[in-house]
Structure 1
């Protein structure tokens, strides 16, 4: 379904405009009710002169960084006239985006359908349904987008298409986007302008927002995107080949795609790192040990890269601050990333990576 397709709604009807105004008010009010998410400090030796922060997006009401994306997507679609009363919003997602979009659909009183693989865990489906959505299952995950388009056409609904619209739905110049929030919260810290901000890529929208904002305000901050082991973003960024692909799905939920998605803006990214999945999981477990917070695998991917950057700064005797993201809570992954049995099934040995992190945090040398 073409998202710009005209829906058979009388837009001159005062009742329709009243519904639209109320829907937009409800979505904007959600932001007003929410205190900004916290910046957590990751303890580092004082002698290094480096501060490492995690922007804790797990404290949103739907529990993840995708709450910001879903809010922006709904405002964008409403203002474009793509969502109408009684018509469903459809999304191809089995993860945090679907949970957050289900919440906003319920908030404005429209149905929400998440097109998900049949293998999706019961817990994820429960969260989507808890927020008022329903799951539409497909046997082949590669058909999710096509089935979403077809389902939206059959129901007269709107296919939200996060992978296309993530970068254009968010106001990267400000409006309390994640980059503006980071700089405001750092304003009284000893290094208010971070040397690096590290993000990960699922749609690419977050790194696009941060990179554009940094350039728009002429900050000297550099932006790094950490990519999981099985993903096509890194290869596309490195080679410029739009056909670069990875032949298997990412094990780190919420990030990594077989190919670079339309919302990924390579020119807004200064550096990328390819992170082994075992390193991502070692880093998220190190986070729990050091900070006392369980987080998801994408947080581990970003944290591994952030700590590697810190190690480079230590080696070069540079001071400054580094920021990365805590994307969602680890309680969603007790049966996977926090399960030694699951690691064994996947053939993942996190011990060497955990040792690298432990030695670095105690000795200051990245081995």
Structure 2
């Protein structure tokens, strides 16, 4: 098949199977990093732009302004090229430098928020304030506001259709990270329609306030809701069966473990999802065909999540997590550190 534009590459991502032999379960990783912008956010970014154009809120030749940690912004930058729009990304110091470089390569304008913030503090409130202010001042501009944009969740219906087709219909659980709530809501609603008994496990960083726990700074990027911000209106709690937290060390050590043992580079938030999926499989809470999204790739975090010196300086190295993963994956007796053989579904 010969495609005509880059956004035609969005979707139809493969699934990689990670067997969990002791529990007769399969952790099925949908490789969303294969989207052209390198993340699952490409799906909803294009959907939000199309919805805004159809409604007339965004005019041809107009300007999109959005607050983002990077992945949504990359998806919007690609879509802006397709529709001949100007795009301004409002970011903070928490955005990975590799993501910023991609945005600039795509011709997006990048605006950093001003102010003094801790290194592990996500300045979402200030980002959103600045994005709204810019959109109000620039003729023909709109603030896309992914957290409260209903078209955010609507961008994931194709994900659900693809998974059902790839797995042959049997889906027992979904484990995903929750940030703005768009991917969690869109995917969970779709899977619940297909199988009301499917268990949905939503993972946020330790320090996020999505499920009512005390807020404090964290390093995981593009996921969770930091203290001082409000949970996005797009998040539908009714489709979530269990909300759990994962520490930065658990998330990052798992991402590093997966890279070393399988050759697959996944982002930090995906590391957290894999850690919690394995934990709850072994607790007996979920089992069978468990779907998890590789929301983005580790290629964007080579200087952070995959830098041993960066982790050591922040006290995020914890070898015991690798030992735990060995046990969960049936590797504690192995002579060589190896994961179960992967297969593509």
Q: Shorter-chain TM-score: which interval? A: 0.7 to 0.9
**What residue in structure 1 maps to residue 59 of structure 2?**
84
Matches within 5 A, 1:137-156: 137-140=112-115, 141=123, 142-156=125-139
**What residue in structure 1 maps to residue 143 of structure 2?**
159
Runs of 4 or more, structure 1, over 6 Å off, are none
1:207 pairs with 2:184: yes
**What residue in structure 2 maps to residue 37 of structure 1?**
13
Matches within 5 A, 1:191-202: 192-202=169-179
Cα RMSD between the aligned structures? 2.4
Instruction: Tell me, yes or no, if the aligned pair for 1:42 and 1:291 is still in contact at 8 Å.
Output: no
1:333 pairs with 2:301: yes
Instruction: Tell me, yes or no, if the aligned pair for 2:326 and 2:332 is still in contact at 8 Å.
Output: no
**What residue in structure 2 maps to residue 4 of structure 1?**
none
Q: How far apart are residue 169 of structure 1 and its match?
A: 4.0
* TM-score normalised according to structure 2 size: 0.85
SS in 2 for 1:233: coil
SS in 2 for 1:294: coil
**What residue in structure 1 maps to residue 162 of structure 2?**
181
Match of 1:286 among 234, 237, 257: 257
Cα distance change, pair 355–103 in 1 and its aligned pair in 2 (3 A):
same
**What residue in structure 2 maps to residue 265 of structure 1?**
236
Give the Cα–Cα distance (whole angstroms) in 1 for the partners of residues 331 and 69 of structure 2: 41
* TM-score normalised according to structure 1 size: 0.80
SS in 2 for 1:362: coil
Give the Cα–Cα distance (whole angstroms) in 1 for the partners of residues 195 and 97 of structure 2: 46
Instruction: Tell me, yes or no, if the aligned pair for 2:7 and 2:36 is still in contact at 8 Å.
Output: no
Match of 1:71 among 46, 52, 60: 46
**What residue in structure 1 maps to residue 72 of structure 2?**
97
Q: How far apart are residue 30 of structure 1 and its match?
A: 5.5
Q: How far apart are residue 118 of structure 1 and its match?
A: 5.1
Gaps of 5+ in 2: 116-122, 334-345
**What residue in structure 2 maps to residue 302 of structure 1?**
273
Cα distance change, pair 195–251 in 1 and its aligned pair in 2 (3 A):
same
SS in 2 for 1:272: strand
**What residue in structure 1 maps to residue 338 of structure 2?**
none
Residue correspondences, number: 318
Q: How far apart are residue 44 of structure 1 and its match?
A: 3.1
By relative contact order (CA 8 Å, sep 6+), the higher-ranking structure is 2
More helix by share: 1
1:117 pairs with 2:85: no
Q: How far apart are residue 120 of structure 1 and its match?
A: 4.4
Give the Cα–Cα distance (whole angstroms) in 2 for the partners of residues 224 and 65 of structure 1: 18
Q: How far apart are residue 359 of structure 1 and its match?
A: 2.0
> What do residues 80-114 of structure 1 show as CA deviations (whole Å, max 9, x unaligned)?
11111332110011311111111111111111001
Matches within 5 A, 1:50-69: 50-69=25-44
Gaps of 5+ in 1: 1-27, 236-243
Instruction: Tell me, yes or no, if the aligned pair for 1:103 and 1:132 is still in contact at 8 Å.
Output: no
Cα distance change, pair 361–277 in 1 and its aligned pair in 2 (3 A):
same
Cα distance change, pair 160–35 in 1 and its aligned pair in 2 (3 A):
closer
Instruction: Tell me, yes or no, if the aligned pair for 2:174 and 2:188 is still in contact at 8 Å.
Output: no
Q: How far apart are residue 217 of structure 1 and its match?
A: 3.2
Give the Cα–Cα distance (whole angstroms) in 1 for the partners of residues 332 and 281 of structure 2: 9
